[in-house]
Amino acid sequence: MNNLQSLSYYYPELLLTVVILAVIIYDLFLKSKDSGKVGWLLVFGLVAVSIAIYVQDDGITTTLFTDAIVLDPFSSFFKMVIVLATILVSIFSLYNDELNDYRKGEYFTLLGIVTFGLFLMVSSIDLVMVYLSIEIVSIMSFVLAGYLKQSTRSNEAALKYVVYGAFSSGIMLFGLSYVYGLTGSTNFFQIQQALSSSDQGASTAIIISVIMILAGFGYKVSAVPFHFWTPDVYEGSPTSITAYLSVAPKAGALAMMIRFFNQVLADGGAMAGLGGVSTTDLPWANIISLIALVTMTVGNVVAIQQDNVKRMLAYSSIAHAGYMLLAMPVMSGDGIYAIMLYVFMYLFMNLGAFFVVITIKNKTQGESFDDYKGLGWEMPLVGGVMTLFMVSLTGLPPTAGFIGKFYIFASLINGGESFYWLVVAGGLNSVISLYYYLRVVKVMYFEGERKETILFPSRVITGMLVFTAIPTLILGIYWVPVADWIENSLVFFIQTI
């Protein structure tokens, strides 16, 4: 579809652009201490964007802007997840005391632009768009990670993020240049066609370039061995940004990986609900199985040793990236379905856990385990929802985390005997994670002095905590609406060769 026709299918993104511009302009009229008001403008704008996505999502599958991006229910699903995460994080940012000394206009503008970049990320089918969207998201995230200009921890986070981010996207770009040279195109479908008809001579070159490309994807989902930035960046950034980075860019990168691996390195059968077959001799499915296994093991084992709750959650988010990647090599519709369900469940439980960290930091000014002592009795609501999030992150019933993990393991078992060992490894990892998640609960309820006073957070914070806690609980018991929604979203734009 040409550029002019495409615009009529592009209204959610156009609306988002208008919202971003409105945020910038509105900020000009505000005094520094009132600048939080732009956050509400962004929130209302994003609600409008989500309505636009909902209206648009009626099963259209087409390419836009002369085959640069696609519009299909799969991308609409991820756009919804991303917008929801941005709305929740924006509201909570307004109540994050770390940001009080700073002007918030740029913060919300950048958050809007990251959302726009993620929209491109979930719908790109061209190597140029893949690189461009990763860079849009990365560059804005560098600034957001270092937003607390006076805090040396935040400075350090930004420096590490920028060095690792630029480095891994550079390596990815070099890999992309070889893919372009080998296949003569930047379009996913044409690359797939060229790969499946090429002789085996190009195989080594393809393996090298795919490993280089994995560096870029691995960095975005923070998979081992590209995870070194994660703990430091997550610990140093403003906690609201940590929450955002642990959910939205991960969802975007997973969507991009699903498209890339199933559409370029496999015949796309998984996207049509059939079993996929790899187009090259490249053992990429085994490589990803191995990465997923190492990622969840490293994340869980290192998380045990942490004394800082925020850092512990950073390692836990590495482990969860591993669980999500588990279903990638199955190359079936089931696997993609399981990843989408997991992302949706993970959104609520992980954001909720970080929101609790913010609430407690506002009160105690600290985020180590010592600062959590006895808080379960002093702040009953916060203690209760934190216990729920920790149980859900472990993957115990009756919570959303259990359903997410159940579908991941089910897709592996349906995938055949060669995946059984991954199920065993995933199960063992869940047991390890039980130790450090429940340590938070133990510290909150069984350590420190029990105080007589009972504190409740402010009304909006309470509302937000309950809003993330309810889906975490309800979706563990009744997840049919979400399952139906994902079932309907499992429609891709596929070009027949």
- Interface with another protein (CB under 8 A): 127-128, 131-132, 135, 138-139, 142-143, 146, 149-150, 152-153, 155-156, 158-160, 162-163, 166-167, 170-171, 173-174, 176-178, 180-181, 184-186, 231-232, 235-236
Which residue, among 412, 176, 179, 439, has the nearest Cα to 307 in the 3D structure?
439
- Residue 217 CA to residue 383 CA, distance in Å, equals 36
- Of the pair 152, 496, the CB lying nearest another protein is at 152
Question: Smallest distance, Å, CB 130 to another protein?
Answer: 11
Q: Rounded to a whole number, what is the largest CA-CA distance in the chain?
A: 75
* 250: CB partners within 8 A, 6+ apart: 220, 221, 222, 317, 321, 324, 343
Place of tokens 């005997």: 417
Distance CA 441, CA 27 (A): 41
Amino acid at residue number 59: G
Q: Which is nearer to another protein, 127 or 313 (CB)?
A: 127
Smallest separation, CB 311 to another protein (Å): 8
Of the pair 40, 180, the CB lying nearest another protein is at 180
- State in angstroms the smallest separation of the CB of 257 from another protein: 20
Q: Between 229 and 355, name the residue whose CB sits nearer to another protein.
A: 229
Helix (H, G, I), strand (E, B) or coil at 227: coil
Shortest Cβ distance from residue 174 to another protein (Å)? Answer: 5
Q: How far is the CB of 37 from another protein (least distance, A)?
A: 26
Q: Which amino acid is at 20?
A: I
> Cα–Cα distance between 6 and 12 in angstroms, integer?
12
Can you tell me the distance from the alpha carbon of 417 to that of 288, in angstroms, rounded to the nearest whole number? 17
CB nearer to another protein: give 159 or 301. Answer: 159
Question: Torsions phi, psi of 233, nearest 5?
Answer: -65, -40
What number of CA atoms fall less than 13 Å from residue 169's CA on the CB side? 20
Nearer to another protein by Cβ, of 139 and 301: the residue is: 139
- Cα separation of 109 and 111, whole Å? 5
Closer to another protein by CB, 59 or 181: give it: 181
Residue 254 CB, nearest approach to another protein (Å) = 22
Give the number of other Cβ atoms within 10 Å of residue 204's Cβ.
10
- Considering the complex, what minimum distance in angstroms separates the CB of residue 180 from another protein? 6
**Minimum distance from residue 25 beta carbon to another protein (Å):** 22
In the structure encoding, which two tokens stand for residue 276, read together? 């996929």
Pick between residue 220 and residue 405 the one whose CB is nearest to another protein: 220
